Amino acid sequence: MPKTKTAEKSARSSARKAERNKAVKSGVKSRVTRAEKLVAAKKGEEASTAVTEAISSLDKAAKRNVIHANTAARKKSRLMKKLNASNKK
């Protein structure tokens, strides 16, 4: 339990931020998963728009410091690599 008033306020603030971050992370994960599934199914145009959406959400999450910038960059790179490989075949 927090002992001081500032520690109590910090705990409340931290809980609010954690809840908000959880929602953002969940959205990012679902968009990335959807994009990966469409790429695997080789649905060209749909996959392309889904990947763009996923990249956008990754960038926004990184901008708000919900996920680390390098994590976002790595996930974006892997998504694009999969998309380009599926388009090539």
Q: How confident is the model at residue 82 (pLDDT cuts 50, 70, 90)?
A: very high
CB 51 within 8 A of CB 80: yes
Ordered alpha helix ranges (H), the chain = 5-40, 44-63, 69-88
Residue 89 has pLDDT above 80, yes or no: no
Q: Dump pLDDT digits (tens) for 70-80.
A: 999 999 999 99
- pLDDT value of position 63: 96
pLDDT in tens, 9-45: 999 999 999 999 999 999 999 999 999 999 999 888 9
Query: What is the pLDDT at residue 51?
Result: 96
Rounded to an integer, what distance in angstroms lies between the CA atom of residue 10 and that of residue 45?
46
Structural domain spans, the chain: 5-25+44-88
